[in-house]
């Protein structure tokens, strides 16, 4: 089990914290089994804003993943398919719980100097 840092767009961060987004979709999966994710809210926020616990990791073809997760996707079908365009396998971290930090934190608080393109182990 491990912890990673993910960059997530502000609109999706809000949906995670208000429980309307229960899956974080990814084109690339961490090789280690992830049980915790630290959330870096991308531009214009550019801060670490919280963390989440991972309930499960789903690996399926995009159409099947959408069928399984669309009710709590927090993203439109159009954006989902655009994101996974050209991919035969899609991944989702199923969110068990999310906690927003009271104070936003800097990357260097976690020993990181730049925001991840995909993810960083921490």
B/e letters for 20-56, b = 16+ CB within 10 Å, e = fewer, are ebbbbbbeebbeeebeebbbbbbeeeebbbbbbebee
pTM for the full model? 0.94
82 part of a folded domain = no
Q: What is the pLDDT of residues 88-99, one digit of tens each?
A: 999 999 999 999
Tell me 69's DSSP state.
Answer: H
30 part of a folded domain = yes
33 part of a folded domain = yes
81 part of a folded domain = no
- Quote the pLDDT of residue 15: 98
63 part of a folded domain = no
Any idea what the CATH number is for the domain that residue 8 is in?
Answer: 2.30.130
Task: Count the domains in the chain.
Answer: 1
Q: What is the pLDDT of residues 69-86, one digit of tens each?
A: 999 999 999 999 999 999
Residue 116: which domain range?
2-57+93-121
Answer yes or no: is pLDDT of 1 > 90: no
102 part of a folded domain = yes
């Amino acid at each position: 089990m491990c912890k990673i840092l993910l960059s997530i767009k502000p609109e999706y961060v809000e949906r995670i914290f208000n429980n309307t987004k229960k899956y974080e979709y990814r084109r690339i999966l961490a090789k280690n089994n992830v049980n915790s994710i630290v959330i870096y809210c991308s531009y214009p926020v550019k801060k670490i804003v919280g963390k989440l616990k991972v309930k499960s990791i789903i690996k399926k073809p995009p159409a099947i993943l959408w069928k399984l997760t669309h009710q709590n996707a927090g993203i439109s079908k159009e954006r989902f398919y655009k994101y996974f365009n050209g991919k035969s396998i899609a991944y989702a971290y199923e969110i068990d719980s999310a906690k927003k930090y009271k104070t936003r934190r800097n990357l260097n608080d976690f020993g990181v100097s730049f925001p991840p393109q995909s993810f960083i182990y921490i």
